[in-house]
C-alpha cells in the first residue's frame, strides 16, 4: 500500500507490503528494507530494520502518530494518497516548529546533566546520563543544535515520555 508521511515540513512517500506474519517490505527514502515488527505490549513494539534493533513506542491520534525512538519523539502524519495533511497548532498560528524535544525513553533517574542552556551540541552528542535498574544509559542529542532549556535536575526520577531537554536545531 502507498502512503505519504509528513514529518515537520517534509513529505515522504513510502510503500509497505506485508510479506507474511510480522515481516514487511518497506520502500522508503529510495531504499528497500525488510522490517520485522513485533508488538511487545499496547503501543510498544520491537522493530528490526537494516540489522538494527529498536524499541518503538507509538501513540496514535487519528492519522497523527507520536513515535518515541531512542529517546527522541517524532510527530508524523500518515496519509493515504489524496488525503491532505493537517496543520499543527504551531503552523495554524504561523510559527514554524523551532525546537527539538528530547524525552525520556523509560522511567529512570537522571544521573548526570552534561549540557547547559546556550551550549551548542552536535548530533548524537551525549547530553544526559540516566539510570534504570542499575544500568546507565546515555541520552544523545537527536540534532546539532543549541540547548534551549534543561527541564530536569540530577537525581530526579522521570517517567517515560517526560520532556528532558529542548534544543533549537542549527544547520
pLDDT for the residue 59: 83
CATH of domain 100-169: 2.40.50.100
- pLDDT value at residue 91: 41
Task: Judge contact between 34 and 22, C-beta under 8 A.
Answer: no
Q: Tell me the average pLDDT across 115-144.
A: 90
Under CATH, which number does the domain 2-92 receive? 3.30.700.30
The count of other CB atoms within 10 Å of the CB of residue 151 is 16
E strands of 72-143, at which residues?
Answer: 72-79, 100-103, 108-113, 120-121, 126-132, 135-140
Q: Where are the domains of the chain?
A: 2-92, 100-169
Assess whether pLDDT exceeds 90 at residue 21: no
Q: What is the pLDDT of residues 85-123, one digit of tens each?
A: 544 434 434 334 578 888 887 888 999 999 999 999 998
Cell numbers linked to 72: 527522541
Q: ∠ at Cα 42 (40, 48), nearest 5°? A: 35
* Contact predicate 129/139, CB 8 Å: yes
Task: Tell me the whole-structure pTM to 2 decimals.
Answer: 0.49
Q: What is the pLDDT of residue 80?
A: 62
**pLDDT one-digit tens code per residue, 37-89:** 888 888 888 989 888 888 888 888 776 788 888 777 777 887 765 555 544 43
H helices of the chain, in order, are 89-92
Question: What per-residue confidence (pLDDT) applies to 84?
Answer: 52
C-beta atoms surrounding 104 within 10 Å = 24
Query: Phi, psi at residue 90, to the nearest 5°?
Result: -60, -40
Query: Given this model, what pLDDT does residue 9 score?
Result: 67
Specify whether the CB–CB gap between 110 and 156 falls below 8 A: yes
Please give the average per-residue pLDDT across 137-166, as a whole number.
Answer: 90
What values do phi and psi take at 123, rounded to 5?
-55, 130
Amino acid at each position: 500500500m502507498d502512503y505519504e508521511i509528513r514529518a515537520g515540513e517534509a513529505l515522504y512517500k513510502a510503500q509497505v507490503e506485508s510479506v507474511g506474519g510480522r515481516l514487511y517490505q518497506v520502500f522508503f527514502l529510495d531504499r528497500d528494507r525488510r522490517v520485522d515488527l513485533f508488538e511487545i505490549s499496547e503501543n510498544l513494539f520491537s522493530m528490526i530494520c537494516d540489522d538494527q534493533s529498536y524499541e518503538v513506542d507509538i501513540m496514535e491520534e487519528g492519522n497523527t502518530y507520536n513515535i518515541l525512538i531512542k529517546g527522541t519523539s517524532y510527530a508524523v502524519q500518515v496519509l493515504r494518497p489524496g488525503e491532505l495533511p493537517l496543520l499543527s497548532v504551531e503552523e495554524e498560528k504561523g510559527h514554524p516548529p523551532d525546537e527539538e524535544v528530547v524525552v525520556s525513553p523509560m522511567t529512570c533517574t537522571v544521573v548526570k546533566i552534561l549540557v547547559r542552556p546556550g551550549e551548542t551540541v552536535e548530533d548524537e552528542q551525549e547530553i544526559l546520563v540516566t539510570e534504570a535498574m542499575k544500568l546507565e544509559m546515555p541520552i544523545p542529542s537527536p540534532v546539532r543544535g543549541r540547548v534551549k532549556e534543561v527541564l530536569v535536575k540530577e537525581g530526579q526520577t522521570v517517567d517515560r515520555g517526560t520532556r528532558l531537554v529542548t534544543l533549537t536545531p542549527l544547520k
